[in-house]
Amino acid sequence: PQTIYLKDYTPFGFIVDGVELTFRLHPTKTRVFSKIAFRPNPAAIDNRFFLHGEQLKLINAKIDGAEITPRAVDGGIEVDVPDAPFTWEAEVEINPEANTALEGLYMSNGMYCTQCEAEGFRKITFYPDRPDVMATFTVRIEGNVENTPELLSNGNGDEYGTDQTVTPNSNYAVWIDPWPKPAYLFALVAGDLIAHEDTFKTMSGKDVRLSIFVRPGDEHKCAFGMEALKKSMKWDEDVYGREYDLDEFNIVAVDDFNMGAMENKGLNIFNSSCVLASPETATDGNFERIEAIIAHEYFHNWTGNRITCRDWFQLCLKEGLTVYRDAQFTADMRSEPVKRIDDVLALRGRQFPEDQGPLSHPVRPESFQEINNFYTATVYEKGAEVIGMLKTLVGDDAYAKALDLYFDRHDSQACTIEDWIKVFEDSTSRDLTQFKLWYSQSGTPEVTVREEFEGDIFTLHLSQSSAPTPGQDTKAPQVIPVAVGLLNDNGDEVLPTQVLELTETEKSFTFKGHATRPIPSVLRGFSAPVTLTQDIDNARRAFLLAHDTDPFNRWEAGRNLARDSLIGAIVDGTAHNEDYLSGLKALLRDDRLDPAYRALMLGQPSQSELAGILHKQGQIPDPAAIHAATESLRDAKAKAFADLLPDIYTANQVTGPFSPDAEPAGKRSLANAALSLLTRLDGGEAAEKQYKSADNMTLQLAAFGALLDAGKGDNAIAAFYDQWNDDRLVIDKWFSMQVMFAKPEDLAATVANLTQHADFDWKNPNRFRAVMGVMAAHHAGFHHTSGTSYQVLADWLLKLDPVNPQTTARMCSAFQTWKRYDDDRQALLKAQLERIAGQNGLSRDTTEMVTRILE
């Protein structure tokens, strides 16, 4: 496969003045007619007229009305064109039903649907399918009124009718999108859909019609998404001054979808798991995620659509910023510290392993073979952290000013990270040259802290280093904002949070006038995506757990105690730390603390996180020992909190009608965390009761998990299936839970068994991930010495690859940590990776992933 480089960018030789498309829909023979006005681009370096096109059957093509025969070239066609404005016309035939890759136009349960980001539009018609070519689109869709009563595309609906003269039962719709957009934001949906409708009045008084379209039977799962949409629209006006810019905004739920959702202009398409929710079928976690994703896609309307990316290397320009914006939104709607902790957990769970292994790449990559492989935690989550650091460094007001300038200066443009940085430089007069390294240097920097106290001067010596990553052996020091506060022995804050800027390899910061030695709280709020090395003892951590005034660092102190206790148990079989258990107990008792926060406090590092920490310490992680230590810490908690757990459980029961709001959801999460420990003491009695009486999925699923964990889930497995077998999203959970709670030695067999089930519809990405993704995340089971899980996963990846390369390639990251483990496991893992790599006809997506992982 060919490698594409950022440094090779050149603009397209032509400008598109307008696109007219007509779709004559047919499940296997859809005709697409295009009429596109081109003119030479004065900025062009190369005036070759190349149009992307893949899997298209060309019926005919014309330039200015005269039929021509294009030359077929790799990935598309070439045509000789006049050195003046001209019109390109083409008629192509495509087969939506055969499109199992779910890129371009495809069918899902009888419904036509598109996914064009990043490079799917070239499977719809011949076009310069690159984000820097922006144009207005007019789209006519012709369907069959019985199968496709709803015909949707981007922009505003202009016309709808039935035109019996063409074909009996035919219908058509015309959509006009007045905003220039790249082809990746094109969308079309046609099917038998029901709309859940509402309206929103924008800040300038315009009424926008809002609809969520779903398949019949899902109407009762739309209300929450609609509320989330209205909240998002209002929030973007209030916080960023951004108003919606069309007469209507449509969302469609589709069952077969590779991603979570897609921000197509005016027509967002959602994986049904990321928009549909009812109290009976969705957990609090699902509700929160849906709210965040609806916000995310909506916010793209400005950060992504009105201002888009010049090329795909700039993906973080829209994704990092939009993730940052949706995190701000969630923090505003719910609890800020809880959201921050959740985000750091996700970063450590997904981004750190990526950045510390063979797939490490900069937030703005400099080369790729398949761009779909770069929709990563690094681009998204680390990309958002970089925005957060920028805001911390320039301050809230300057950030707001810079964003105003960004929207002002770059509206309707396709931009780069340089444009983004320049906006901050121009509005703050700050030189951000060094800051820009965050976009080009890969890897997770490590910050080391040393303390010194002399006279009345307290000094923090900070240093930074960054391990080599693929293609980057040495690194320059980065700008690291380190938020610090100081406490006295009583736990009072003697210095409120300050941001220290670590810009060199080593830098010291002094704090004068301290009669007694202060206690620092470092990297408050997780002010930078780094690992922190601090030589402090358990007593200090316990003090911070009890007293830190920064909620993130207070949680972090408990987390570090848990981590060290676990590492001690794994490495030397040490008993669990009593200071941790007693400190945590005091916190759990503290009713002034938000239940959601206390529930997070009860958590502990995951097994794969522990494996990563051990690896970083130069040890070889033993998955079985890690699993045993994790279990023993849970047992120790159950025992230490035995007298408290029933009270916590009872005190956090929620009565009255279900609400997914933060407050009741927080209580449920604490009660469920207590239940999970209680189950270790009562053998599942409370869980059994909760399972039977649960009237919402949050309670039902937690009880189901507790029973499975206790080895008492057989009845619940059968009952759950009987109750929910007509609900695809809930059956995904049924599959996942059995995999998640399998004993390590039973994992491969459990999975093999589940894949025999009639409902294991493996071509559906959600179902595939519900089993295979969860298996790969089951650390002790996936890495069981037998190696059977490795083999099962590789078998299924090989089976899925020809059908859906994108979902296959994504899941190859399950193998990215292979070099952490012992020789035997490495050999087993490598054998599977090589087996995949050696497969004939392996997709470009998967080839790139396994090659990088093996390197």
Give the interface segment with Zn ion, choosing from 218-226, 315-323, 423-431, 730-738 (CB under 5 A). Answer: 315-323
Within its chain, how far is the Cα of 346 from the centroid?
A: 9
> Shortest approach of ligand DPP to residue 177 CB, angstroms?
17
Q: Which is nearer to Zn ion, 183 or 671 (CB)?
A: 183
Q: What string marks each residue from 328 to 347 as x (binds Zn ion by CB under 5 A) or -?
A: --------------------
Distance CA 459, CA 750 (A): 55
When CB distances are held under 5 to 8 angstroms depending on the partner's kind, the choice from Zn ion, ligand DPP, none that residue 288 binds is none
Distance CA 712, CA 285 (A): 24
State the DSSP H helix or E strand holding residue 211, giving kind and residue range, or none if neither. strand 207-214
> Shortest approach of ligand DPP to residue 316 CB, angstroms?
11
Active-site annotation holds for 280:
no
What 102-108 contacts at long range (C-beta under 8 Å, 24+ apart), as own/partner pairs, is 102/256, 102/257, 102/258, 102/765, 102/804, 102/806, 102/807, 103/258, 103/806, 104/55, 105/23, 105/30, 105/188, 106/256, 107/27, 108/254, 108/255, 108/256, 108/257
Question: Taking a C-beta distance cutoff of 8 angstroms, is the pair 187, 154 a contact?
Answer: yes
Give the interface segment with Zn ion, choosing from 313-321, 324-332, 486-494, 798-806 (CB under 5 A). Answer: 313-321
Give the interface segment with Zn ion, choosing from 129-137, 211-219, 316-324, 333-341 (CB under 5 A). Answer: 316-324
Residue 73 has a CB neighbour count (10 Å cut-off) of 12
> Shortest approach of ligand DPP to residue 269 CB, angstroms?
9
> Shortest approach of ligand DPP to residue 264 CB, angstroms?
9
Question: Taking a C-beta distance cutoff of 8 angstroms, is the pair 519, 486 a contact?
Answer: yes
Active-site entry in 117, 288, 291, 297? 297
> Shortest approach of ligand DPP to residue 262 CB, angstroms?
4
When CB distances are held under 5 to 8 angstroms depending on the partner's kind, the choice from Zn ion, ligand DPP, none that residue 652 binds is none
Distance CA 399, CA 397 (A): 5
Site residues, ligand DPP (CB under 6 A)? 117, 259, 261-263, 296-297, 300, 319
Q: Which is nearer to ligand DPP, 225 or 485 (CB)?
A: 225
Give the interface segment with Zn ion, choosing from 140-148, 319-327, 433-441, 460-468 (CB under 5 A). Answer: 319-327
Q: Which is nearer to ligand DPP, 81 or 292 (CB)?
A: 292
Residue 429 has a CB neighbour count (10 Å cut-off) of 8
When CB distances are held under 5 to 8 angstroms depending on the partner's kind, the choice from Zn ion, ligand DPP, none that residue 677 binds is none
Distance CA 261, CA 841 (A): 29
Question: Taking a C-beta distance cutoff of 8 angstroms, is the pair 331, 339 a contact?
Answer: yes
Q: Which is nearer to ligand DPP, 377 or 812 (CB)?
A: 377
Q: Two tokens at 183? A: 């082809």
Q: Which is nearer to Zn ion, 148 or 416 (CB)?
A: 416
Q: Which is nearer to ligand DPP, 297 or 709 (CB)?
A: 297
Burial of 164 (0-12, 13-18, 19+ CB in 10 A): exposed
When CB distances are held under 5 to 8 angstroms depending on the partner's kind, the choice from ligand DPP, Zn ion, none that residue 259 binds is ligand DPP
Q: Give 355's contacts (C-beta < 8 A, 6+ positions apart).
A: 378, 382, 442, 443, 444, 469
Q: Which is nearer to Zn ion, 330 or 608 (CB)?
A: 330
When CB distances are held under 5 to 8 angstroms depending on the partner's kind, the choice from Zn ion, ligand DPP, none that residue 441 binds is none
What would the DSSP string read from start to end of 391-410? HHHH-HHHHHHHHHHHHHHH
> Shortest approach of ligand DPP to residue 770 CB, angstroms?
20
> Shortest approach of ligand DPP to residue 306 CB, angstroms?
14
Q: Which is nearer to Zn ion, 296 or 475 (CB)?
A: 296
Distance CA 214, CA 109 (A): 12
Give the interface segment with Zn ion, choosing from 312-320, 331-339, 505-513, 819-827 (CB under 5 A). Answer: 312-320
Distance CA 652, CA 595 (A): 8
Residue nearest ligand DPP, Cβ-based: 262
Distance CA 25, CA 191 (A): 11
Give the interface segment with Zn ion, choosing from 89-97, 321-329, 529-537, 776-784 (CB under 5 A). Answer: 321-329
C-alpha distances out from residue 567 to 353, 534, 564, 582, 640, Å: 18, 16, 5, 19, 20
> Shortest approach of Zn ion to residue 322 CB, angstroms?
5
> Shortest approach of ligand DPP to residue 186 CB, angstroms?
13
Q: Which is nearer to Zn ion, 24 or 265 (CB)?
A: 265
When CB distances are held under 5 to 8 angstroms depending on the partner's kind, the choice from Zn ion, ligand DPP, none that residue 117 binds is ligand DPP
Distance CA 697, CA 19 (A): 46
When CB distances are held under 5 to 8 angstroms depending on the partner's kind, the choice from ligand DPP, Zn ion, none that residue 556 binds is none
Residues with a catalytic annotation lie at: 297
Residues near Zn ion, by CB under 5 A: 319, 322
